[in-house]
Amino acid sequence: LLPPRRPLCLVHSLRELECIYSLYVFIPLLSLFLPVFSFLTDGCGPPPNLTFAELTEEYRNLTEFPVGDTVRYRCPLGYMKHPGVSPTLTCLQNHTWSEALEFCKSE
């Protein structure tokens, strides 16, 4: 059984009254809204800067990526694409980027 609902009220002045309700009222209400905002923290931050490649233009200014999103890199001047190695990274379910294989090599 839950205790009776009694707010704790503090009187700061004749015009200001602050009431705090028991946590057992607040926590269930909060839990209703948290799933709605979970997309704000799910996913990955900016992809890593790589010494051997650079992000393509379309991804350079983005800072949040949902799980499953893939970003593409290109080889800078002085590097060539390593055949058979994909120049992409993917945002994984653990909110990290997939391993960056060395898909560009120095010429």
Q: What is the mean pLDDT of the chain?
A: 80
Read off the pLDDT of residues 61-74 as tens digits, 9 standing for 90 and up.
999 999 999 999 99
Read off the pLDDT of residues 42-53 as tens digits, 9 standing for 90 and up.
899 999 999 999
Report the Cα 68 to chain-centroid distance in Å. Answer: 12
Side chain identity, residue 34? L
Q: How far is CA 100 from CA 16, 21, 47, 58, 97, in A?
A: 57, 50, 10, 19, 8
Q: Which CATH number fits domain 54-106: 2.60.40.420, 3.20.20.140, 2.10.70.10, 2.30.30.90?
A: 2.10.70.10
Q: Would you say the pTM of this structure is higher than 0.95? A: no
- Give residue limits of the domains in the chain: 8-38, 54-106
- How far apart are alpha carbons 47 and 66 in whole angstroms? 12
H helices then E strands: how many in the chain? 1, 7
